[in-house]
Amino acid sequence: MRRGWRILALIGVLLLVVVIATGWAAQRALQAAGVEQWDAQGLGWQDGGPYLQSLSLVQRSDQGLVELQLQGLSLTPGWQLGAWLKRLTLERVELAWWPADTAPEQPVLAFEDQPIPDPLAWVPLLAWAPEQLAVAELLLDLPCASGRCELDGQLDMQLMRGEPSSLASQIVLNSSGVMLHGDVQLSAEAEVLRLETEWQLEQHPALALHSQWRQAAQGYHWQGWLSIPEWPGSEALFPALQAWLAPGLLPLDDLPRGLQATLGWDWQGEQLAERLGALLDGSARLGGILRLEQPWLLDGVGLISGEQQWALEVEQRRWRLHQGQAQWRLQQPAAALFGEALPGDWLPKSLNLTLSPSEVLELDWASRLPFAARLEIDGPLAGQLQGQLGLTAQPQLRLELTGGQLELRAAALAWDDLRMREARLQAAIEAAFDGQRLSVQLGESSQARLTELALPELELQLAGVELRLPGLRLEMGLAEGSDWALETPLRLGMTQVRHPQLKPQGWSFNGRLSQSPARLSLSGTLAAASGLAAELRFNWPEQADWQAELVLQELFLRAANPLAETLSAWPELLSFSTGRLQARFELGGADALARADGQVRLSGGAGIYDRSSFEGLELPLSVRLRGEQLQLGFTELKVRSLDPGLPLGPLVLQGEYQASLERLEQGRLRLDSARLGILGGQLWLEPAQLDLAASRQDLVLGLEGVELARLFEVYPAEGLSGRGTLDGRLPVSLENGKLLVEGGRVQAREPGGILQYQSAQLQAMGRSNPGMRELAVALEDFRYSVLSSDLNYGSDGVLVLALRLEGYNPDLQRGRPVHLNVRLEEDIPALLASLQLSGQVSDIIQKRVQERLLQRRLNP
């Protein structure tokens, strides 16, 4: 008996020594692991195994400080076929980690250098795992992007030992009100490891994964698939994730509801891939499908839906694309996608993009990968773009469009005050994009057509517009503040241009357009179907007014008059038979035309105005426009000869005309000087200013040196002749377009002259009347010393002369003085018409004279 007690005492001492040694060893191990303090309470035995009420410890390392608290730790051992841990339960696990301020830097590895652990190396660890592991309450306090974040959840795991061994676990995590539930199934055999997991978001299926790793003598085989059956969506998921991640790391704000995606892979290799890049040394197949049937509203883009499929194969780092079809639809695209390139009313309603490789492609990332592409546009501006897309990944990402064909059409479009109808664009297009710059070039056949283009504010309408931009080239940097440049030949044709100041006809422009942020330049030839043409040079620098130069191509008016066929304001009664016209203008302004300076010169002009012909017209005209005010200056207008029925000339005028563009015909005319040769003398005008907006304008004409002999040569009075020189002063008025003379006076110069009048009618009257007989004798050879007349001309065209004559006839009563007072009336329009019809005038003048005579008879 005493011996038995001794044995028990020895065993107890040994156990005490073991406990002391174990505690001492455990303490040394904890200290070596950086555990600064630990505390265990409530050690006991419960339900056939040890039980620990609580365990807490604090560990400090290079990575920071960790606080761990375990509550309700219960172990249930198993003794069948040896000792193992059958069950481990924890009522509560709390873990908090504060990273060190100066954590040791870890080397940043490239993607291909990331290590891959041997999946089967994890299988022996299952022997140490409990058959059951349960954590009733799991609390994590960890650093995150927003500072500190908390996670709570539960964990339940079950292990089935044997061949194969399998591990099944369920985990529930809750972060910021978002609930994730995952089921994980792990099955391990000697050479095969299978992993299957399914995750639910807010109790809806969200993700499924199946993976199998097989190791055999002939090599390694890894295959599996990842599937999103139909993403349930959660508005709180991404905000919860963003709290953990660095700002801007997630490119999206949410995954769309109804998203379906599947990714499958099958890899085989002779050796175990230790790095991600080594996977490319084997043989692999990748395939997948991404489908979004329910439109997804993406901020700043629009509603996206569609489908993407792909199938890839890699063999010894050589990739092949077997399938790569994509069909995507963008509805209600955001205006921000187009910047300021399109007005709001032009934005498309939807865009449909289709991509497909035409054949199996060798994916050498340094070479160009071709795809067939088609973009369909639906909206006010509808059409399509199709061609071959080429993708190059090295040395930098580059996307190219070759063989592109762009077609756009619209029934009606408006841009500010611009209106377009039945517009159509067809263009061959080449483009390239490398992430930094975009370049676009159009083919030679590129053209745009419009049935009608109108600017109502300018009262301008263009019909049958055809715009050609052969070889247009656009280079554009995409970074903020980058330069861009546009260069293109420009050919513009219009079958008809309608404007109040122009006669309807076709116009064309052939030139070159150049534009960049620094300036806009345009140069070329503008031409009308009438033959009128001008060279245009336009330049608009940044932050400055635009400037233009317009040079009229020299016109020779012998064969035709393009101005008359172009300008609706051209006087209908003015025509040229010859002449040479030159003009040059300098224009400028901020938005609209604000200023213009020009010179117009007509030389050698001859033609007809109304019922008068003219020759030797010289017109140097200066033009000045400032805002709405127009100023025309004629320094020396000359006409060598005029013939309204009697020969006149030369005519010389100097003056200036000022008017508003809104009331061009109601301006102010300043006449500095005006002289007209008439019957050997001159008719001149006193300097005056006329307000054409007023109903009446008054002028004073002077008459100087008119020869009676020349007058009687053209005056159709048979038997009348004479000599003498006339001077006079004529107050002239223009009233509502009618010429009036009131109180005019004409007199002969001293010492007088001779009048000779022999009329058979007057002599017949003298035979029966002695007084008339003496008058007839006196006028046969009348030597006058005074010849004067009051002169009035009325709106009816009748000239009234109150003529006073003083003189003698040497053959009458020995030269007795004779005084005569005669009143004469003459219808001047009829007289001029008679003179014109009796002379050698053109058919045009004869026709106009006859029409005027007929009109006067019908409307006396």
Give a three-class secondary structure readout of 531-561.
CCEEEEEEEEECCCCEEEEEEEEEEECCCCC
Q: For residue 286, what pLDDT is reported?
A: 87
Q: Do residues 312 and 320 make contact, with C-beta atoms less than 8 angstroms apart?
A: yes
Q: For residue 786, what pLDDT is reported?
A: 92
C-alpha–C-alpha distance, residues 132 and 160, integer Å: 9
Round to the nearest angstrom and report the end-to-end CA distance of the chain. 171
Q: Which letter, b or e, does each residue of 833-848 get, where b requires 16 or more Cβ atoms within 10 Å of its Cβ?
A: bebbeeeebeebbeeb
Q: For residue 367, what pLDDT is reported?
A: 61
Q: Phi first, then psi: what are they for 548, rounded to 5°?
A: -145, 150
Name the residue among 835, 837, 831 with its Cα closest to residue 799: 831
Name the residue among 599, 654, 655 with its Cα closest to residue 624: 599
C-alpha–C-alpha distance, residues 697 and 736, integer Å: 9
513 forms beta bridges with 488, 522
Amino acid identity of 491? R
Amino acid identity of 794? G
Q: For residue 836, what pLDDT is reported?
A: 53
C-alpha–C-alpha distance, residues 615 and 607, integer Å: 7
Distance of CA 141 to the CA centre of its chain: 54
C-alpha–C-alpha distance, residues 74 and 859, integer Å: 130
Q: Do residues 466 and 435 make contact, with C-beta atoms less than 8 angstroms apart?
A: no
Token digits of residue 144: 């995150």
Q: How many Cβ atoms sit within 10 Å of the Cβ of residue 105?
A: 6
Q: For residue 832, what pLDDT is reported?
A: 64
Cα–Cα distance list, 120 to 161, 189, 484 (Å): 16, 9, 58
Name the residue among 358, 357, 271, 360 with its Cα closest to residue 316: 271
Crossing angle for the helix pair 843-858 and 828-838, to the nearest 10 degrees? 150
Q: For residue 362, what pLDDT is reported?
A: 62
Which distant-in-sequence residues (6+ apart) come within 8 Å of 445 by Cβ? 426, 427, 428, 470
Name the residue among 124, 134, 131 with its Cα closest to residue 77: 131
Token digits of residue 589: 């302004």
Q: What is the CA radius of gyration of the chain?
A: 54
Name the residue among 158, 162, 210, 169 with its Cα closest to residue 190: 162
Token digits of residue 26: 């455990």
C-alpha–C-alpha distance, residues 243 and 768, integer Å: 135
C-alpha–C-alpha distance, residues 472 and 446, integer Å: 9
Handedness of CA 776, 782, 787, 792 (dihedral sign): positive
Q: Do residues 837 and 849 make contact, with C-beta atoms less than 8 angstroms apart?
A: yes
Token digits of residue 496: 């008809």
Q: For the chain, what are the domain ranges?
A: 518-694, 708-860
Q: List the chain residues with pLDDT less than 70.
A: 1-34, 78-84, 102-114, 234-242, 244-254, 276-278, 317, 339-341, 358-368, 393-395, 716-717, 761-771, 831-860
Q: Phi first, then psi: what are they for 423, rounded to 5°?
A: -95, 145
Which distant-in-sequence residues (6+ apart) come within 8 Å of 137 by Cβ? 91, 92, 93, 152, 154
